[in-house]
C-alpha cells in the first residue's frame, strides 16, 4: 500500500520536472491510476467552474474546435489532391496531419455530444421507468462516462509521454512532434468529464425540483 501511494505521489513532481522520460516512468506505475483519477475529478471541476464563469467558452469551445479542425482537414486534402494531380507534387505531411486533426475533432465532438445528451441512451425506454429508475440510469451514465474518461486520460497520457520521450516526429516533417497532438486526447477527455459532471448536477437539481428528467435528444440541437 505504501508503495502504491508512493508511486501516486511521484507522478505530480515528475510533471514539474518537464522531463518526458521521468513523466513516462512515473505514468507507467500502478499509482498513476490514483493520481490520474484525482487529477480528472479536480480538473473537471475546474473546467466546469470556468464554463460557469465564462458562458461564451461553455457555449462555443467544443464547436469551435470541431469546425476549425474539420475545415483544416478539408483544406489540406483539397489543396493537396489538386497539387498531386495537377502539379505532380505533394507536401509529405499532407497524409499524416489530417488523421491527427481528425483525432482532435472526434474527441472534442464526443464531449460536445455528451453535453447535448445525443449519445445512444435508449431515452424512449428510460422515459417509461419510474422517476427513481430514471435517476438511477442517469447516475449510471455519469459513473460509466467518468470511468471511461479515467481510463482514457491515464492511458493516453502514458502514450503521450512515451511519444515525447522518444522524440517521435510527425511523418513528413522535421520538427513537428507527435505528442503535441496526442496531448489533446487527455485534455479533451478532461473536458468530457466536466460535461458529465455538468449534466449530473443538472439531473440532481431536476430530480429535487420535480422537473422532467429525461427528454428525447435532438442531434444538432441545443
Kindly report the number of other CB atoms within 10 A of residue 152's CB atom. 21
The mean pLDDT of 191-208, rounded to a whole number, is 93
Closest CA to 111 of 199, 38, 50: 199
pLDDT, tens digit (0-9, with 9 covering 90-100), for 112-143 = 998 888 877 777 777 788 888 888 989 999 99
Q: Say which residue, 217 or 143, is predicted with more confidence.
A: 143
What one-character DSSP code corresponds to residue 170? P
What one-character DSSP code corresponds to residue 213? -
Q: What is the pTM assigned to this prediction?
A: 0.89
Contact 138, 213 (CB under 8 A): yes
State yes or no: pLDDT of 30 exceeds 70.
yes
| Mean pLDDT, the chain, integer | 89
Q: Count Cα neighbours of 96 within 13 Å in the Cβ-side half-sphere.
A: 14
pLDDT of residue 108: 93
pLDDT of residue 15: 86
Q: Count Cα neighbours of 153 within 13 Å in the Cβ-side half-sphere.
A: 26
Provide the residue ranges of all domains of the chain, joining segments of one domain with +. Answer: 2-209
State yes or no: pLDDT of 1 exceeds 80.
no
pLDDT of residue 222: 57
Q: Say which residue, 155 or 221, is predicted with more confidence.
A: 155
pLDDT of residue 2: 63
State yes or no: pLDDT of 82 exceeds 70.
yes
Q: How far apart, in Å, are the Cα atoms of 5 and each of 8, 31, 196?
A: 5, 6, 27
What confidence tier does 89 reach under pLDDT thresholds 50, 70, 90? confident
The mean pLDDT of 51-57, rounded to a whole number, is 93
89: left (phi over 0), alpha (psi -120 to 50) or beta: beta
Amino acid at each position: 500500500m505504501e508503495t502504491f501511494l508512493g508511486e501516486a505521489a511521484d507522478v505530480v513532481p515528475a510533471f514539474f520536472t518537464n522531463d518526458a522520460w521521468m513523466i513516462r516512468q512515473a505514468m507507467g506505475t500502478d499509482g498513476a491510476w490514483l493520481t490520474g483519477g484525482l487529477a480528472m475529478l479536480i480538473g473537471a471541476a475546474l473546467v466546469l467552474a470556468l464554463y460557469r464563469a465564462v458562458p461564451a467558452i461553455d457555449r462555443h469551445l467544443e464547436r469551435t474546435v470541431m469546425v476549425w479542425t474539420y475545415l483544416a482537414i478539408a483544406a489540406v486534402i483539397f489543396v493537396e489532391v489538386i497539387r498531386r494531380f495537377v502539379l505532380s507534387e505533394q507536401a509529405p505531411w499532407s497524409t499524416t496531419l489530417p488523421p491527427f486533426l481528425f483525432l482532435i475533432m472526434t474527441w472534442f465532438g464526443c464531449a460536445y455530444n455528451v453535453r447535448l445528451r445525443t449519445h445512444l441512451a435508449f431515452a424512449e425506454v428510460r422515459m417509461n421507468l419510474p422517476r427513481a429508475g430514471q435517476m438511477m440510469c442517469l447516475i449510471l451514465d455519469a459513473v460509466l462516462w467518468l470511468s471511461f474518461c479515467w481510463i482514457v486520460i491515464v492511458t493516453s497520457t502514458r502514450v503521450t509521454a512515451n511519444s515525447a520521450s522518444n522524440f517521435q516526429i510527425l511523418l513528413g516533417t522535421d520538427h513537428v512532434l507527435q505528442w503535441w497532438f496526442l496531448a489533446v486526447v487527455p485534455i479533451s477527455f478532461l473536458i468530457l468529464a466536466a460535461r458529465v459532471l455538468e449534466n449530473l448536477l443538472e439531473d440532481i437539481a431536476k430530480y429535487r425540483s420535480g422537473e422532467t428528467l429525461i427528454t428525447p435528444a435532438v442531434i444538432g440541437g441545443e
